[in-house]
Structure 1
Amino acid sequence: MAESYDLAVVGAGVVGLAHALAAARSGRRVVVIERDPRANGASIRMTGLVTVAGHASGAMWRRARRSREIWADVCAQAGVRIEHEGLAIVARRPEAAIALDAFAASEAGEGCSFYQPDDAHALFPQFKGDIAGVFWSPDELRVEAKSALAKIAAWLEDAHDVAFKWETAVSGVADGEVTTSRGPVSAAATVVCAGDDFRTLFADRLTGAGLTKAKSSMLRVRVEDGYELPGAVASDLTILRLPGFEELDGVEALRARLEQEQPEHLRHGVALLVAQSSDGSLVVSGSRELSACPDPFETQVVEDLILEEFAAVLGRKPKQVVSRWAGAYAYSTERPVVTDAPSDRVRVVVAASPAGASSAFAVAEETIAGLFGKGG
């Protein structure tokens, strides 16, 4: 006889674990089914930064703020170290400064500040060269994703009685039952959180969502001993990626200037984001290649472009590249989170941007409320 649960979650990445937590907190008996021995997809391959700044005003900004709040609570309870907090976006050009100043003054820039060059150099001596200012958000937090997800899964199992079925592939989902490689699992409801694998389950329903795959070249580097960043660090190139900046003054002028000054960076989707680990090493992201099937190979050209921007912002080159890897995630030009309801008791949730960790917990609360009702 199949084991019976209130909710089955397919996928043990951050989106899957967020749904398991939301359901468990509402008193549901939950099972998480994961095809690998541990989370091994987009959730652990990116920087581990939970962002708030840069989201567009409205639903996504509210989701980011709520998710950040839950992240802080979960980290405290699950024993996950927060590596650092805050995000600095360095304006290398006056056009970037105009956009960053405008965002800091907007609703979605609540709590953020933009510092003019003199104050910026005094507050952030790590940033070198003739900069036009620094935007600072205090809200971001960063975790080591690989170890964090393992600790959160263990905490969910121990503190919330969430069951986990590792190395178990799901081949079908119907109302009341999930078909797996280890036999059927009975569940009153199911949420599919399969990351960038949006072709195995309910692929026919997702074809209209504009989904494709994105690859990001990632590096872990070392600089001199004792070097410390104020938080995560980004640059002008990143502004073009952030939905909250799309309509702001300065952005189109910045885009035109970057097309003249850094065309190869734009062609390869380079947008610098640097985050620091407790051992002092820096995780550096990266580039963006959109493809139905991104190849697994990294190129020296892209790495050189990333490190060129790194040196321009931080005034130094890494002493050592410790490791290289390809980040991978689902991507949609239409919306950052794709959701679908194949039936009353089944939901599909795809984080369709690199900011899945920044919205996962809030999206999960919405999903669980929709499945079971806000009353629990």
Structure 2
Amino acid sequence: MRILVVGGGVLGTMHAWQAVERGHEVVQLEREPEARGASVRNFGLVWVGGRASGPELATARRARVLWERIGERVPGAGFRPNGSLTVVRTEAELAVARQVAAGAEAADRGFKLLDAAETRELNPALRGDFLGALWCDRDGAVEPRVAQPALRAALEATGRYTWLPGREVRELTGDGVADDRGERHTGDLVVFCTGAWLGGLVRELAGPIPVRRVRLQMAQTEPLGEPLTTSVADADSFRYYPAYRGEALDALNAGQPQGEVAARHAMQLLMVQRLDGSLTVGDTHEYDEPFGFDVDEDPYDHLAEVAGALLGRPLPRIRRRWAGVYAQATDPARIAHRARIAENAVLVTGPGGRGMTCSPAIAEDTAEELGL
């Protein structure tokens, strides 16, 4: 088959990858010169441990295996199985870590509770004052700014893939699509992976869909000057990921509520080292549109304070700040929104903050569902 993929982000690129792997010819169209949305404005986390029990966890675990296989074939994607540490600083936070580390799914999630000495042994850059950490050996990381170009280069080497940037698709035809240059592209199937771009042609074809947009703020620092051997989270992450729900989390929320800035911006600390030694830090969550066009400084002050407390020294100077918007299915039971929108077209969007983690498995599920 000849398949047209509309959207150059990680979800679209993984659909292209699956199609080429299965012997099909792919043309991928992107309205920007390069993907500029949530696929490059994220941590690059392959985040398995915190996922909801059931299909979401199973999808994340499968995606983690797929990412490792892809990383072996495409070293430029920067995949590394670095794991994560969610660091705890109070007894209430420690109780949450202890509960999930003793839970029935702890082995599936790769959880282990570490004391402070074990935490520092695993990640010597963490020299702050803390009680321990929840270790997850299933988590990993990729390089979001370079992963997609590296994947495309590997696809182009097959001779069955074409990348067409700077083309906004304006029309779905009976045998393909037409772009804003007036050019027509023929194909047997069109897969729309347009991320948070839910207006225009997507709205015309799909109408209202059960997907919302979420805005976040993040930053990148100067190089740390030493390896941060794992991804790092603070205990506010317990409040935002479904894996940690339970009596201990209820007690944490009741007895140790978030500070004013963290609560107002729905924050957690996530910190990942890039291959150049810099740190990506974040993040905030904003759910009510219209979103602001600027970024607030208070969250960055909070992130610097929390990260510095874990590192035991000031966070390196922030050199880049940005906001991003991703699409999230409103039904928490759905990994993504996937729907047939025409006889020859399907829309796949709304993985939310799971996009970088789960995109290989989401694309695999699409291919299986469509019989590719």
Tell me if 1:100 matches 2:91. Answer: no
SS at match of 1:289: coil
Once the two structures are TM-superposed, the CA of residue 23 in structure 1 deviates from its matched residue by 1.2
CA distance in 1, matches of 2:347, 2:125: 43
Which string of whole-angstrom CA distances, capped at 9 and with x for unpartnered residues, describes residues 114-140 of structure 1? 123454355444434542321111122
RMSD: 2.2
CA contact (8 A) 1:12 1:38 kept: yes
- 1:289 aligned partner: 286
Q: CA deviation at 1:323?
A: 1.4
2: CA distance, partners of 1:220 / 1:42? 15
CA contact (8 A) 2:67 2:79 kept: no
CA contact (8 A) 2:196 2:326 kept: yes
1:275 aligns with 2:276: no
Change in Cα spacing, 1:45 to 1:224, as seen in structure 2 (3 Å) is closer
Q: In the TM superposition, what are the counterparts of 1:1-376 in structure 2 within 5 Å?
A: 6-80=2-76, 81-82=78-79, 85-104=82-101, 105-107=103-105, 109-110=107-108, 111-159=110-158, 161-182=160-181, 183-203=183-203, 205=206, 207-209=208-210, 211-222=211-222, 225=225, 227-246=226-245, 248-259=246-257, 262-335=259-332, 336-371=335-370, 373=371, 376=372
Matches of 1:223 and 1:154 in 2, distance apart? Answer: 28
Amino acid at match of 1:142: A
Contact 1:83 1:276 (8 Å CA) reproduced: no
Aligned length: 365
List, as ranges, runs of 4+ consecutive aligned residues in structure 1 with deviation greater than 6 Å.
Answer: none
CA distance in 1, matches of 2:169, 2:107: 41
For 1:66 and 1:102, the matched residues in 2 are separated by 25
Give the distance between the partners of 2:224 and 2:100, measured in 1 at CA. 34
Which amino acid letter does the alignment assign opposite residue 86 of structure 1?
G
Matched-pair identity in %:
27
TM norm structure 1: 0.90
When residues 174 and 107 of structure 1 are mapped into structure 2, their CA distance, relative to the original with a 3 A threshold, is farther
Change (3 A) 1:108 1:153: farther
Of 356-365 and 236-245, more deviation after overlay is shown by 236-245
Distance of aligned partners of 1:249 and 1:176 in 2 relative to their CA distance in 1, 3 Å threshold: farther
106-115 or 46-55: which moved more? 106-115
SS in 1 for 2:48: coil
Unpaired runs of 5+ in structure 2? Answer: none
Aligned partner of residue 85 in structure 1, secondary structure: coil
Say if 1:117 and 1:133, in contact at 8 Å, map to a contact too.
yes
Q: For the structure 1 residues 359 and 108, does the alpha-carbon distance in structure 2 shift closer, same or farther, using more than 3 Å as the test?
A: farther
Q: Is the 8 A contact 2:193 2:348 kept in 1?
A: yes
